[in-house]
Structure 1
Amino acid sequence: MATDFGRPRDPRIDAAALTAAVELLTGTGYAELTVDAIARHAGTSKPAIYRRWPSKAHLVHEAVFPIDASTDLPDTGSLAGDVREMLRRTVAVLTTPAARAALPGLIAEMATDLTLHAALLVRFNDILARGLADRLADAAERGEVRPEVTAADLTEALAGITLLALLTRGSDTAATLDDTWIDRTTTLITKGIAR
């Protein structure tokens, strides 16, 4: 039996660091954000931050994309309804000021560091691998979707379309990714994966 002789981690530091990252991102952007600034803003130290997160990217990813009720898979009773709700939630998360500030830097870092990319995807693995895969298997049994469509395929379609729309539609993206856009995109995705 292993015994931990160190001090227990203070969950208030985790919360303060995550809040500090979100607050600072909206003012400085990702490139100018430093772990030192996050630590100072959170009232803690850089070593305390690095004990919790291996890099700025890991911390920012967790701060901007928390796993909470919004990441629970919707269950509307139909695949089209589920896709519509997943799109709505994706738009809501990606259009926050912190996400808009973080995305360019996170994308650049993930593109050049495949281990970072893999580590960040692990955070959402349970949601995707089990929940969404099971949902797609049920939809395939009902004849709503082709059986070869995977959770990763659907996730890439949802996130990819939304991300590209964010990058190409300018500063008023939240207004243009409205219910009409969500309905049109839901139809595009569901028809694309339909049996």
Structure 2
Amino acid sequence: MKNHEEQLAAIQEMRNMMDQATRFKSISGLSGMIAGILSLLSLYFVYLRTGISPFEAEALDRIWHSSNQIQISYIFIGLLAVCMGIGFYMARRNARQSGKNTWDGSAKRFAFNLLIPVFVGGIFSMLLIQLGLVALAAPVTLLFYGLGLLSASKFTLNAVYTVGLIFTGLGLLAAGFLSYGLLIWALGFGLVHILYGFIIYVKYERV
């Protein structure tokens, strides 16, 4: 009986070691906080340019149809590029500090499972905007980002799964309250990123 229990314990330990080896742990909570702050600052800049607050009804549709449409497009495209760049840089820095390869198998699996839903959601959002369904862009980006996090969570920190659930829920909420989709978008990409980025930073990164 004792030998059987020891064998089960050894098997469980091996499984835990394999699980740890296949998880991408260099994800940066600090980059999440920066992304959240930049998202809120971008919305504030949009408010300064258009005078339309995310707290107002139909804010996203009104902002898109304002005279600053091209500038608004550049702001959100720039936000995506900067956040992805910071995330990659911080993850590479964390990997090097821990003596790990930046682009190992776990990192590739994490990126593959996250980026495919994100890019599909981004393309789908652009198609919706071209069709004049601007208000749907907020829930679609939240939903696909949440689904991407859920898909990638099995290859990284457990906290990512919770964040994925929150973003997916916010996406559904934004779909139910389209008039305030931009406000819910700000709650997700702004405040949730800051909160969970801080939690991940304190729990896994801070020495």
TM-score, normalised relative to structure 2? 0.27
TM-score, normalised relative to structure 1? 0.28
Highest CA radius of gyration, 1 or 2? 2
Higher relative contact order (CA 8 A, sep 6+): 2
